[in-house]
Amino acid sequence: MSKIQPPKAGDKSTCRFSLFLKRSIAAIANELEMSQYYFSRLFKQAMGVSPYQYVMQQRIERAKYLLRTTSLSVAEIAPQVGFSTQNQLTIQFRKFTGTTPSGYRKQL
């Protein structure tokens, strides 16, 4: 996985990051007046990963940033990075990093 830097607080990209994570691929494709399939194909050609994988990478990178720089609990971080529950964050975090969010924080 590529190392994509999460946006810093106050950075203009923070707003774009939040908007992208909250919008569905279908909504983005519709706004660009193209099919979801075509948008996904172009996105993967440009970014090297599918839109879904990109969003997951961004969410995990943001979670890692918050784990490093705050004392927020994993349960508090989960909704801030687009997961409904702590369990959802933990499952995806483990898939991408090989460890749990708590394990990641302990390794710091």
pLDDT tens, 22-39? 678 888 888 889 999 999
C-alpha–C-alpha distance, residues 66 and 50, integer Å: 24
**pLDDT tens-digit readout, 44-93:** 999 999 988 988 998 999 999 999 999 999 999 999 998 999 999 999 99
Where along the chain do its domains lie? 12-107
10 Å CB burial of residue 94 (0-12, 13-18, 19+) is middle
Which residue has better confidence, 82 or 3? 82
Looking at domain 12-107, its CATH class is mainly alpha
pTM of model > 0.85: no
C-alpha–C-alpha distance, residues 49 and 68, integer Å: 26
Residue 107 in tokens: 């390794």
